[in-house]
Amino acid sequence: MWVQDLTTKEILQSEVIPVNNASNENIEAEAKVFPNPSNDAFNVVIDRLASENAKVQVTNISGQVVYEGSMINGKSSINTATWNTGVYMMSVEGANYHYSTKVMVRH
């Protein structure tokens, strides 16, 4: 979530707000996002989602979607080589799970 000046489009404040339920807490402890910060790519591994069709989405600080894909066997590798340096929000949606985190890209 963020607060944005509508005139200048400047992000004034941002915060990650976790969804409160037991399954999300477990996924957060199990989720691996590496390397973070990333240069050319980062990996997402959530073993619990290996048997589910989970979707991965990454947005930039302006809220624009820069990546959408699926996890295969609870894993995904995301190429960041052409992305601008900065902070991105990554979210993973499974049938009964939601996980989100910040990812940094540095070149």
CB 101 within 8 A of CB 16: yes
CATH number of this structure's domain 19-105:
2.60.40.3080
Confidence label for 54 from pLDDT (cuts 50, 70 and 90): very high
Confidence band of 77 (pLDDT split at 50, 70, 90): very high
Kindly report the pTM of this predicted structure: 0.73
17 band by pLDDT with thresholds 50, 70 and 90: low
**In the prediction, which pLDDT does 23 show?**
47
Residue 60 reports pLDDT greater than 80 = yes
Look-up of token digits 């589910």: 52
Are the CB atoms for 61 and 11 separated by under 8 Å? Answer: yes
